[in-house]
Each structure stands twice: as C-alpha cells, then as structure tokens.
Amino acid sequence: MRSGLIAQKLGMTRVYTEEGVVVPVTVLKVDNCQVVAQKTSDKDGYTALQLGAGIPKIKRLTKAERGHFAVAKVEPKRKLKEFRVSPDNVIPVGAEITVEHFVPGQFVDVTATSMGKGFAGGMKRWNFRGLRATHGVSVSHRSIGSTGNRQDPGKVFKNKKMPGHLGAETTTTQNIVVVKTDLDRGLILVKGSVPGVKGAWVSVRDAVKRKLPDSAPKPGAFKLPEAAAAPAAE
C-alpha cells in the first residue's frame, strides 16, 4: 500500500485525445508536498506517513507546530494529512512527492470536503418526489409529507430523512482515471469532477477497488532534499 499525496483543486477544463474525443478533467496542483513525519509500528502501533503542503501564515503557527516542522527540517505547511502505508513503502522525511507518483490511466480515489449548500429541503437533499402538482395540493408541492406514524410510537424515529444542512462534509469519489500529469507545472489531470470548491485541498491515493498498475513507482516518485541527496551522490 503506497502513500497518497495532497493537492489543491484549481478547477475544470477539457483535453482532447488523439482521436479528437473531448475529455472533461479536473486540474489538481501539487506544490511542495513533503513528508513531515513517519509513524512506525514499533512506536505508534501502525505505519503511516504524515504529508504537508501549502504555505501558511507563520504568525498563526503555535510553538509546538513550529517545533514539529523544525525537527523534520521542512518548511511549515498549511495542510497536514496522514496516509497509511505498508512498511516497504515508507518514504524518507523531507522528501518531496511529485506528480509522477501517479501514472496516466491509473485509477485513484479523491477525498475532500464537499461544497456546502446550506439548509436544503427533502427534494434536493434526499431526492424525494414531493407532493402532487394538483388534486388538492395547494402550497405543499415540495414538502416531504408525513414524518411519523400513529399515537404508537408517537415520535419521529432518529435518522429520519428530513430537510437540513447539505454538503460541507468529507466525501470520497472512487475510481477516477488519471488522464495526464505535468511534472514541470506540478499538475495532475483527472477525468470528471472531484469534491470541493476551487482552491480546496484534496487527498489523492491509489484506488482501493482497482489493481495498481505495474508502471506505478514504488515506494513512490519523490525528490530528496538537496542536503540529503548530496552525500548519496558522492
């Protein structure tokens, strides 16, 4: 099980295949996504990588957060996210994961906070049919109808589908195809839409319901920091 990465949603556009077919894609920006910490089974009880991305306002960081980044010798990050990995796919601390971590044609799962839509009715929130357009219905066409039973049980059961807050919750879209990657600009183009608004942080990982392509790099595609890469070159 490989690590994922943290990207930022820029928006949607279109690309053309060699046959001239239009493919709608979402553009994800990967900028300086580094490994901040490692979780090991001996110390923490599980194996994972903590990744960070983005540039925060330094004045908003606590001393504990500044010390956490100082130990890893990485720049402070705005977004932190843990990814479970297998012991043979651990990436060194300070390494920067690149967009070549995913290959074109690969299936990925994208997780983000969905777009908030405020207070919504039953028809929009739960796809209720609503009431009839005529035959005695006057002002309740979009109402949800009865919500309870009779005097027994005399209550509305919990988890009843009713109007309420819609969106702004963690959502995962599975089995999205990677159309193209651009290493120079740090872009990943995936087919279709992904959760979140423009500028939202998203987590991209290998699809759990699809086989990993043989061409996918293991433990991943990353660049070591210059200080660590210099002794290795010698």
pLDDT at residue 234 above 60?
no
Length of the chain counted residue by residue: 234
pLDDT grade for 123, boundaries at 50, 70 and 90: very high
What the chain holds in terms of domains, given with CATH numbers, is: 5-116+174-233 (2.40.30.10), 117-166 (no CATH)
What average pLDDT does this structure show over 151-167? Answer: 94
pLDDT grade for 148, boundaries at 50, 70 and 90: confident
Q: How far apart are CA 62 and CA 52, in angstroms?
A: 16
* pLDDT tens profile 5-26: 999 999 999 999 999 999 999 9
| pLDDT reported for residue 232 | 45
| pLDDT reported for residue 87 | 92
Residue 59 DSSP label: G
* pTM of structure: 0.87
Sequence-ordered list of residues with C-beta below 8 angstroms from that of 206, at least 6 positions apart, any chain? 1, 2, 4, 102, 106, 107, 108, 109, 212, 216
